[in-house]
Chain A
Amino acid sequence: MTTTIISGATLPGGSRTDLAIDGGVITAVGASLSTAGARVVDAHGLQALPGLVDLHTHLREPGFEQSETVLTGSRAAAFGGFTAVFAMANTQPVQDTAGVVEQVQALGEQHGYVTVRPIGAVTAGLAGERLSEIGAMAKSRAKVRVFSDDGKCVHDALLMRRALEYVTTFGGVVAQHAQEPRLTEGAQMNEGTLSGELGLAGWPAVAEESIIARDVLLAQHVGARLHICHVSTAGSVDVVRWAKARGIKVTAEVTPHHLLLTEQLVSSYDARFKVNPPLRRDEDVHALRAGLADGTIDIVATDHAPHPVESKECAWDEASFGMVGLESALSVVQAAVVDTGLLDWSDVARVLSATPARIGRLDGYDSPFSVGSPAHLTLVDPTASRTFSTTHLRGKGVNSPYLDRVLPGRVVHTIHGGVATVADGELAAADVVRDHREAIRNARG
């Protein structure tokens, strides 16, 4: 195997070093490593981050391959600096049996751009009526640890209690999509002054906050772990902060778009800005940033939700909810919380890699940049600036809210388990990634 030397990279803590990668792991760290016979990646001026981990991705396969596949979503992820994604369960068939989650996991392994960790449905068919085969999925080859009905809320209080208790049996966590369904019937955008003016049915903050309040109390009562998906309101941040202060085992995520965009964009009726939970007020954006900075919110997760063009080229209330986010996530985080001085790069490493891996029980991300650790990393040029466009997307979806917006930063290299999935700002070819991965596996025996 050829050794790869990454020279002059700046680590999240700010120090500069060379890294040697061989056989998929980091074999040496230090200044001026020997480059004899090695492939050299010049990382001077580049920020090294541990491979990014997305706890909330929609890969759409099986069932909605016109929107995305495991392959295209993996490529979008790698292009955005990710080395692992957790694939949400709302596929067709739903990821609610061992067979489906094993299929998704296997597709991820076959393509090799990123580690694909399937999320299991909490309830059969996401119907909210009875538990899915949680134990079978946990014990399958996919070893599912995160369970979610995302897209739908587990709104039945008793079922939620049982789910929290039952997944504890398998060391899992329930990731709740907090949305009280009756309060959000027909909801189209954040409920407030603007929804009244635009004549769009409101999605009130209380519909999210009331479910989070209920669920943290349930988690406390049964002593279970709870994860809250896409927290979007200032009130939700307060509830999570209160719960953590009481020692409740709750973790929370925020999406990049809720850190940067506000409901004002809806006044164009451009359905690219239609997402669930909806874009909120400026006050909410600032509360979410503050919550991420003080640790109330643990992680950033993309909620990457690709849709075909026709699902967005229509009247607002006929359009699908969701935005693609894998390719833009790191740039948006840089714009929202790094360039504004709230987070430094070691915080970014925490909220986009170490902590999401820990919540999802994903191995190999606890001590990045140390000898013996798997070589999952990304090299970013934080000084870059680009007008974001469809040429910066690699998945099937073009429903990005950032098109024509200037965003900072650019992923230059992504390395997944020693395999260069992105080099010099472009994706490696699918067969090259597959062969390289195969070679590393064989070398290990």
Chain B
Amino acid sequence: MKHLLSTATLDRATAIRILDVAEDMAQVATRDVKKLPTLRGKTVVNLFFEDSTRTRISFEAAAKRLSADVITFSAKGSSVSKGESLKDTAQTLAAMGADAVVIRHSSSGAPQVLAQSGWIDAGVVNAGDGTHEHPTQALLDAFTMRKRLHGLGSRGKDLDGVRVTIVGDILHSRVVRSNVWLLTTLGARVSLIAPATLLPVHVAEWPVTTGFDFDKAVDASPDVVMMLRIQSERMHAAFFPSAREYAREWGLDDERLERLPANTMVMHPGPMNRGLEISAAAADSARSTVLEQVANGVSVRMAVLYLLLAGTTEADL
């Protein structure tokens, strides 16, 4: 694997391989010394053109556990906020000898532009680009589902027949796009629930089912309900009339939580708006995987960096 830009181009075998390597990485977290020497001497640059403390520290932890040198380059207060271009930043990092660049950018496609540009030879990991994709989030979601379903016997398993309902701002969500492609590749059946304004036009051509009615989706007893963060600025752009109406129609409140089967996973990529798209009870219930997702995020990102930088040898594991 040279880059990880999108889940659309991952085949089932590669996806399962990443998840299996992540299982190995998860073992490391249970040791006294949570560190592998695998990437000693390699330099990983976290290039964050957009603020995201959670994703950034997750990648930082992942790289450090593999003994890589980590440089964090945040746009705020740097030359990037003074108008330096992606090209100049990339060439600067190349001159410093970066082996991998983890990039978060507000423009869709920026990681792909970086990977194709020839400005830098490093492997590129997409850590979220605009409203396009967030592949490591989808991988950690899939990892979390597999772990809940199969526990210690997760290795080698796919998600055949798992019914996943994703609710919320589908139109603007990079998490959804990465999840739709990855989960479908792994055999899951994905359903998207949102008001019509927050579904992309032509969503009918995606490999998913779609609906407007969250209550019907709840009563269909899905294996997974994934709630997306809703941004309050959307209501000012007439996507829906008010936060109250949104919460009433598409929020996972206590009443809907009650109606879900006891083993239905409640997922959220974070950060959550408690009381808006998800109630406190839902977020803190035993069904909630929110904290597992955070922990698994580190393991999955370790796996991705490992596969990018250490090639395919598993001698160090």
Q: If the complex has contacts A313-B87, A314-B86, A317-B108, are A197 and B113 also in contact, measured as CB distance less than 8 A?
A: no
Number of A-B residue pairs with CB-CB distance less than 8 Å in the complex they form: 72
Question: Are the C-beta atoms of B87 and A202 separated by less than 8 Å?
Answer: no
B110 within 8 A of A: yes
Select B85's contact among A200, A271, A313, beta carbons within 8 Å.
Answer: A313
CB distance from B50 to the nearest CB of A (A): 12
Interface residues of A in 7-45 (CB under 8 A from B): none
Interface residues of A in 168-203 (CB under 8 A from B): 188, 191-193, 195-202
Bound CA–CA A271/B116 (angstroms): 12
Interface residues of B in 71-109 (CB under 8 A from A): 85-87, 105, 107-109
B56 within 8 A of A: no
Interface residues of B in 109-143 (CB under 8 A from A): 109-110, 112-113, 116-117, 129-133
B239 within 8 A of A: no
**For A271, what are the chain B residues with a Cβ–Cβ distance below 8 Å?**
113
Bound CA–CA A188/B113 (angstroms): 16
B170 to chain A: closest residue by CB: A196
**For B116, what are the chain A residues with a Cβ–Cβ distance below 8 Å?**
268-270
Question: Are the C-beta atoms of B108 and A269 separated by less than 8 Å?
Answer: yes
Q: If the complex has contacts A199-B133, A199-B174, are A314 and B108 also in contact, measured as CB distance less than 8 A?
A: no
B204 to chain A: closest residue by CB: A193
**For B108, what are the chain A residues with a Cβ–Cβ distance below 8 Å?**
188, 198-200, 269, 316-317
Select B130's contact among A193, A199, A204, A314, beta carbons within 8 Å.
Answer: A199
Question: Are the C-beta atoms of B202 and A318 separated by less than 8 Å?
Answer: no
Bound CA–CA A231/B129 (angstroms): 32
**Chain A: interface residue total (CB-CB under 8 A):** 24
Q: If the complex has contacts A200-B108, A269-B109, are A317 and B200 also in contact, measured as CB distance less than 8 A?
A: no
B32 within 8 A of A: no
A156 within 8 A of B: no
Question: Are the C-beta atoms of B177 and A197 separated by less than 8 Å?
Answer: yes
Bound CA–CA A199/B130 (angstroms): 7
Interface residues of B in 227-252 (CB under 8 A from A): none
**For A202, what are the chain B residues with a Cβ–Cβ distance below 8 Å?**
201
CB distance from B48 to the nearest CB of A (A): 14
Question: Are the C-beta atoms of A199 and B132 separated by less than 8 Å?
Answer: yes
Interface residues of A in 191-225 (CB under 8 A from B): 191-193, 195-202, 204
Question: Are the C-beta atoms of A193 and B110 separated by less than 8 Å?
Answer: no
A363 within 8 A of B: no
Question: Are the C-beta atoms of B200 and A196 separated by less than 8 Å?
Answer: yes
Question: Are the C-beta atoms of B107 and A318 separated by less than 8 Å?
Answer: yes
Bound CA–CA A306/B109 (angstroms): 23
Bound CA–CA A269/B126 (angstroms): 14
**For A431, what are the chain B residues with a Cβ–Cβ distance below 8 Å?**
none
CB distance from B88 to the nearest CB of A (A): 10
Bound CA–CA A317/B129 (angstroms): 11
Select A314's contact among B85, B129, B174, B200, beta carbons within 8 Å.
Answer: B85
Bound CA–CA A201/B107 (angstroms): 11
A193 to chain B: closest residue by CB: B202
A315 within 8 A of B: yes
Known: A192-B202, A268-B112. 7 other contacts (CB 8 A): A192-B201, A199-B129, A199-B177, A200-B109, A200-B131, A269-B112, A314-B113
List the 10 closest A-B pairs by CB distance, nearest first: A269-B109, A196-B200, A199-B132, A315-B107, A199-B131, A199-B108, A315-B110, A193-B202, A317-B107, A193-B205
**Interface, chain B (partner A; CB < 8 A):** 8, 85-87, 105, 107-110, 112-113, 116-117, 129-133, 171, 174, 177, 200-203, 205-206
